[in-house]
Amino acid sequence: MQPIALSDSHILSMRTHAESAYPEECCGLLLGRVTGGVKTLVEVWPTDNAWSAEAEENWPEQKGLTERRRYAIRPEDMLRAMKHGRDRTLDIIGIYHSHTDCPAVPSECDRTLAWAEYSYIIVSVREGCSEDLRSWSLDGEGNFQAEEIRLVEPTEIKK
């Protein structure tokens, strides 16, 4: 399992976004590089939570849920992040989102929609305050495993 290296400012950015979106889930993309067996986060790319009735049509098993329990990232936001990353030799290395009034543990929905090579950072927000942040990735059998978070100084991250 590859660790993910990030800075305190990355964590603050995700926590702040999660708190501002409360009581809805927030979401965003993680742009960075994978080198030497370590995923290094370079940019946090916040997006709007695009969960809607239209998104429900793509996932009928999630019908009746709202932005308080689900998130979706618009394809155009994903494409814009990919283009931005390509110009800076960065890749999308993961996705972050929040769980409102729930632990920072992936749900079954998170697992079924996850991509194997990505990191999934979850921020737990209770009553509007972030209280926990954890990173996860899928193992070879499609189950989430906790991913080591390595805190690094911003100067250690090549932009």
Handedness of CA 134, 106, 55, 51 (dihedral sign): negative
Q: How confident is the model over 99-145, as pLDDT tens digits?
A: 999 999 999 889 988 999 999 999 999 999 999 999 999 999 999 99
Question: DSSP character for 45?
Answer: E
Residue positions counted in the chain: 159
Burial 142-157 (b: 16+ CB within 10 A, else e): eebeebebeeeeeeeb
What are residue 56's phi and psi, to 5 degrees?
-60, -35
Q: How confident is the model over 79-89, as pLDDT tens digits?
A: 999 999 999 99
Cβ atoms 78, 45 nearer than 8 A:
no
For residue 98, pLDDT beyond 80: yes
Tell me the two tokens of residue 87: 């110009």
pTM over 0.85: yes
Q: Give residue 66's pLDDT.
A: 72
Q: How confident is the model over 35-79, as pLDDT tens digits?
A: 999 999 999 999 999 987 666 677 666 666 677 888 989 999 999
For residue 28, pLDDT beyond 90: yes
Tell me the average pLDDT of the chain: 92
Spatial CA neighbour of 9 closest among 148, 122, 157? 157
Cβ atoms 32, 156 nearer than 8 A:
no
Cβ atoms 92, 122 nearer than 8 A:
no
Q: Give residue 159's pLDDT.
A: 77
Helix (H, G, I), strand (E, B) or coil at 152: coil
